[in-house]
């Protein structure tokens, strides 16, 4: 990994007119207009006979493919997906968002949905894309919850991940779910972000329970849930094989597995991220030599806006593209 020291990544500097982690999180996600690409949607049947929606930005066969695993309640129209694809597609890349179950405006058939530690789903999706495109370089990016799941897969797969992806990156992943879950359920985070997440999570789950009755879920308690801890304890943990929220948040966290990663992986976390406290971030001793840590002082949660008003989301795409090109198979 001596070549890693030769890699120079762009330095992130937050604009003075957008100070603080909350503003840097909320403004890009809700107020910055971006053009939506012409997606081509596919519906894939999963190994357990469920279904997911997969949105493609097509290009020539054999060109590199960027696979984006979205965050909690995100998808192909999330601000980070739009900015990445607007940057990568003109440079000859194909792009794809495999939506997690129940996302992408598609109701999945089974009681289960998706969760932060779903490495098996990541594995199935990536290997299907690899098998369909055997001659194309494949690169994976996971954002927030999707980043945690991707890192968990990379850590569990070890050297085998190199058979599937050339390199990977996570952006603002909640690497320690115990710390990050507690942060989201506290103070202003609970009033702004958690309330918004629960609004759609509860609506989806209550609609799902009308179709697939589940004795493990108490509908009245789900309606009354006011924190992610309560929701994950009532819904996410029992539906996905965990023994309560503490078991889920402990076993699904990707941080303990970072030492097992054996493909070039960039782990990006802003140090003022309202979702991910600094205490959750790894140091050099917590990761393998294949992992590059990039922890700018600012950026918020998947924000990283730059430039004068209204701002541009170009730092993250530029950083990821430079990292991936540096680790392209023909560059090694």
In this prediction, residues 282-293 reach a mean pLDDT of: 98
Question: What does the chain come to in residues?
Answer: 332
For 4-56, what is each residue's pLDDT tens digit?
Answer: 458 999 999 999 999 999 999 999 999 999 999 999 999 999 999 999 999 99
Q: Taking 80 as the threshold, does the pLDDT of residue 215 lie above it? A: no
Kindly state which CATH superfamily the domain 2-176+253-331 is placed in.
Answer: Alpha/Beta hydrolase fold, catalytic domain (3.40.50.1820)
Mean pLDDT of the chain: 95
pLDDT of residue 331: 65
User: To the nearest whole percent, how much of the chain has pLDDT over 70?
Assistant: 97
Give the Cα separation of 29 and 99 in Å (integer).
18
Q: Taking 90 as the threshold, does the pLDDT of residue 109 lie above it? A: no
pLDDT of residue 207: 87
Q: Which residues pair with 66 in a beta bridge?
A: 95, 139
Residue 16 CB neighbour total at 10 angstroms: 7
- Strand locations in the chain (E): 40-45, 51-57, 65-69, 94-98, 138-143, 167-171, 265-268, 291-294
Helix axes 119-132, 145-157, angle to 10 degrees: 80
Beta strands 265-268 and 167-171, pairing class: parallel
For 149-187, what is each residue's pLDDT tens digit?
Answer: 999 999 999 999 999 999 999 999 999 999 999 999 999
Extract the tokens encoding 310.
């209204």
For the range 239-246, what are the long-range contacts, defined as Cβ-Cβ under 8 Å and sequence gap of 24 or more? 239/111, 239/112, 239/113, 239/214, 240/112, 240/113, 240/115, 240/118, 245/181, 246/178
Task: Give yes or no for a contact between 66 and 91, defined as CB atoms under 8 angstroms apart.
Answer: no
Which residue shows structure tokens 């998947």?
A: 302
Dihedral angle sign, alpha carbons of residues 200, 201, 202, 205:
positive
Which residue shows structure tokens 């357990």?
A: 48
Beta strands 138-143 and 265-268, pairing class: unpaired
The catalytic residues are 144, 273, 301
Give the Cα separation of 66 and 200 in Å (integer).
27
User: To the nearest whole percent, how much of the chain has pLDDT over 90?
Assistant: 90
Q: Taking 50 as the threshold, does the pLDDT of residue 237 lie above it? A: yes
Give the Cα separation of 265 and 314 in Å (integer).
20
Domain boundaries of the chain, sorted by first residue = 2-176+253-331, 177-252
pLDDT of residue 332: 55
Q: Taking 60 as the threshold, does the pLDDT of residue 92 lie above it? A: yes
Task: Give yes or no for a contact between 27 and 311, defined as CB atoms under 8 angstroms apart.
Answer: yes
With vertex at residue 79, the alpha carbon angle to CA 78 and CA 84, rounded to the nearest 5 degrees, is 105
Q: Taking 90 as the threshold, does the pLDDT of residue 82 lie above it? A: yes
- What letter does residue 119 receive in the DSSP assignment? H
In this prediction, residues 181-210 reach a mean pLDDT of: 94
Chain centre distance of CA 96: 13
Of 317, 248, 299, nearest in space to 80 by CA: 317
Q: Taking 60 as the threshold, does the pLDDT of residue 202 lie above it? A: yes
Q: How many CA atoms lie within 13 A of 12 on its CB side?
A: 28
């Amino acid at each position: 990994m001596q070549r890693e020291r030769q890699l120079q990544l762009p330095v992130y500097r937050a604009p003075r007119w957008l100070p603080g982690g909350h503003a840097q999180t909320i403004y890009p996600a809700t107020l910055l207009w971006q053009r939506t690409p012409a997606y081509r949607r596919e519906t894939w049947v999963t190994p357990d006979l469920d279904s997911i929606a997969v949105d493609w930005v097509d290009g020539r066969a054999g060109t590199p493919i960027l696979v984006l695993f979205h965050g909690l309640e995100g998808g192909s129209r999330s601000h980070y997906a739009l900015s990445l694809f607007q940057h990568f597609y003109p440079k000859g890349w194909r792009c794809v968002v495999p939506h997690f179950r129940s996302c992408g405006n598609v109701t999945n058939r089974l009681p289960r949905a998706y969760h932060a530690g779903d490495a098996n789903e990541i594995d199935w999706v990536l290997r299907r894309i690899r098998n369909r495109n055997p001659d194309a370089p494949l690169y994976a990016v996971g954002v927030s919850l999707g980043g945690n799941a991707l890192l968990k897969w990379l850590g569990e797969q070890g050297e085998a991940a190199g058979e599937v992806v050339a390199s990977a990156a996570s952006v603002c992943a909640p690497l320690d779910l115990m710390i990050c879950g507690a942060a989201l359920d506290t103070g202003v985070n609970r009033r702004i972000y958690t309330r918004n997440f629960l609004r759609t999570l509860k609506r989806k789950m209550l609609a799902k329970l009308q179709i697939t009755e589940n004795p493990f879920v108490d509908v009245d308690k789900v309606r009354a849930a006011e924190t992610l801890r309560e929701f994950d304890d009532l819904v996410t943990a029992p539906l996905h094989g965990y023994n309560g929220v503490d078991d889920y948040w402990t076993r699904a966290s990707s941080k303990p597995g970072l030492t097992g990663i054996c493909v070039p992986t960039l782990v990006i976390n802003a140090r003022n991220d309202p979702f991910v406290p600094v205490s959750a971030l790894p140091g050099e001793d917590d990761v393998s030599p294949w992992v590059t840590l990039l922890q700018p002082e600012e950026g918020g949660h998947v924000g990283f806006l730059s430039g004068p008003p209204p701002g541009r989301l170009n730092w993250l795409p530029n950083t990821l593209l430079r990292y991936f090109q540096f680790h392209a198979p023909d560059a090694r």
